[in-house]
Chains A and B, each alone.
Chain A
Amino acid sequence: MSAEKPDNEVQSATTLWARYSQIAFIIPGSVVVGLLLGKLLDYWLHTRWLFLVGVIVGAVLGFVDMIRTVTRNKT
């Protein structure tokens, strides 16, 4: 991210509030998305374990995304 932010990137308190309010939902949301994608792959590939991989991948990516959200909003 560039050091000088244009005017439309200046974050007000309400915007930060909205962004931070997402944090609680990032990991559960990612886990549900991973579960659904895993279930879809299980259905297509006739397997029974990809949903578990989806849940784990979703949890990991959700955690990474949560850290990115927090650090990004500190700028």
Chain B
Amino acid sequence: MPEQLWITAFLNKYLAGLANAILGVLHIHSHHPQAPITNYVAMQLLVFVILVLGCAIVRSRLSVDNPGPIQHTMESIDGFIAKQGEEIIGHGSERYTAYLTVLGVYILTCCLIGLIPGFEAPTAIPSVPLGCALVTWFYYHYQGIRLKGFGYIRNFMGPVPVMAPLLLPIEMFSHLARVMSLTIRLFANMFAGDMVTLVFFSLCPIAIPVVFMLLHIGVSFIQTYIFVLLATVYISEAVSHEH
């Protein structure tokens, strides 16, 4: 039986049967049928619930004249990402702002939730950054295909037609490597942050770990920003009309 957080144990107690049934439909057999829900899945579910409840609360209290602190924060985040999208993607960027905002808020919450005692950051497990990277990868290709149709393939062929057979495999590898790049960067930074905090906590449990926890907060914001920024750049390349 793997080591479980209290929330994972709680979910496994009540939802193990449901989780096994879902895994069975997908022909996946859990190594531990009594605890099919892992810590990082439980933490992602918790982040999902926090974000949905938070948005529902903000939605019920929306006010133009007197916005609350949460509404103000969410508007600031959305405005920042919209401005960045306008700068990088240009005209029509507002279509992608919702996705980029949700992506950013989700990753940031996943990173920061690990600072709360009793929880752990799901982004410190490779599967979670990989999921975010894959969703982003499919999203920007979908947007490129939606906008350009079959002509989207020209994005992979370069400006000179003669060079297309050479550039096509390079571009394909480059795009596949983007998934790895996004995954490794976020995972490695969050994992390293957790490890450093843990090591110093075991050496000196008073005061010193606070410094590294503050560092972890900084790294969380920076990595979230880079992830969203790169996603914006990838979308801009996919929907750009210029070669």
Contact = CB atoms under 8 A, between A and B. Distances in A.
Given A18-B229, A29-B179, A30-B180, 13 more contacts: A1-B159, A6-B90, A6-B242, A8-B89, A15-B87, A18-B230, A18-B233, A19-B233, A21-B226, A21-B230, A22-B178, A29-B176, A29-B178
A33 B184 CA distance: 13
Contact of A29 (B87, B90, B180, B242): B180
Contacts of A62: 173, 177
A29 B229 CA distance: 19
Q: How large is the interface on B (under 10, 10 to 19, 20 to 34, 35 or more residues)?
A: 20 to 34
B81 to A, nearest CB: 12
A12 B159 contact: no
B88 interface: yes
Interface of B: 84, 87-91, 159, 169-170, 173-174, 176-181, 184-185, 226, 229-230, 233, 236, 240, 242-243
A26 interface: yes
B229 A14 contact: yes
- A-B residue pairs, 6 tightest by C-beta: A8-B90, A29-B177, A29-B180, A25-B181, A18-B229, A61-B173
Contact of A28 (B173, B178, B180, B236): B180
Nearest to A66: B174
A28 B173 CA distance: 12
B64 to A, nearest CB: 31
- Determine the main DSSP class of A at the interface with B: helix
Interface string A16-49: 0011011001101110111000000000000000
Contacts of B230: 18, 21-22
Contacts of A5: 242
B240 A8 contact: yes
Contacts of A58: 173
9 contacts: A1-B159, A9-B240, A15-B87, A21-B185, A25-B181, A28-B180, A30-B177, A33-B176, A62-B177
